Amino acid sequence: MARPQRNYTRGSAPKRHQFPDAPFPHGIQLIFKKYDYKTLVTPGQGEQGRNQFSMPEISGEAIIELPMPKSLTDATGISVNSFEKTFTESLIVDTLAPIFSSEGGGLGGVAGGLFGAGEAGIKGIASFLSDAASNSKSDNAELAAQGSRVLSFLMNNTLNSFSAGLGKAMGASRGTAINPQATLSFEGVNLRSFTLDWTLYPESQEEAESIRMIVRTIKSQVLPGVESVVGTLGDLNNSAFSQFNTALSRAFLEYPATVNINLLGISENHFVKFKPCMCSSINVDYGPSGEVVIAQGGVPQGIKLSMEFKELEIQTAEDYGGGGDSNDGN
Asked whether residue 66 falls in the same domain as residue 206, the answer is yes
Q: Please name which of 174, 121, 181 lies closest in space to residue 152, comparing C-alpha atoms.
A: 174
330 lies in some domain: no
DSSP codes of every residue in 245-261: HHHHHTSEE----EEEE
321 lies in some domain: no
Q: Please name which of 152, 159, 155, 153 lies closest in space to residue 179, comparing C-alpha atoms.
A: 153
Helices (H), the chain: 87-100, 110-134, 137-162, 164-174, 205-222, 239-249
Tell me the mean pLDDT in the region 165-185.
75
Asked whether residue 139 falls in the same domain as residue 180, the answer is yes
Asked whether residue 150 falls in the same domain as residue 173, the answer is yes
Angle formed at CA 21 by CA 20 and CA 24, multiple of 5 degrees: 65
Tell me the mean pLDDT in the region 282-303.
95
Asked whether residue 154 falls in the same domain as residue 289, the answer is no
Q: Which residue has the higher pLDDT, 37 or 211?
A: 211
Lowest mean pLDDT among 9-13, 67-71, 273-277, 291-295: 9-13
Report the number of distinct structural domains present in the chain.
2
Asked whether residue 162 falls in the same domain as residue 28, the answer is no
Question: What global pTM score does this model have?
Answer: 0.68
Asked whether residue 69 falls in the same domain as residue 179, the answer is no
8 lies in some domain: no
Asked whether residue 34 falls in the same domain as residue 23, the answer is yes
2 lies in some domain: no
136 lies in some domain: yes
6 lies in some domain: no
Domain assignment of residue 198, given as a range: 15-77+192-232+239-314
- Give 87's pLDDT tier (boundaries 50, 70, 90): low
Asked whether residue 50 falls in the same domain as residue 98, the answer is no
Asked whether residue 71 falls in the same domain as residue 196, the answer is yes
325 lies in some domain: no
Tell me the mean pLDDT in the region 156-174.
64
Asked whether residue 40 falls in the same domain as residue 109, the answer is no
Asked whether residue 182 falls in the same domain as residue 204, the answer is no
Q: 122-157 burial, b if ≥16 CB within 10 A, otherwise e?
A: eeeeeeeeeeeeeeeeeeeeeeeeeeeeeeeeeebe
10 lies in some domain: no
Per-residue pLDDT reduced to its tens digit, 303-313 = 999 999 999 99
Asked whether residue 122 falls in the same domain as residue 252, the answer is no
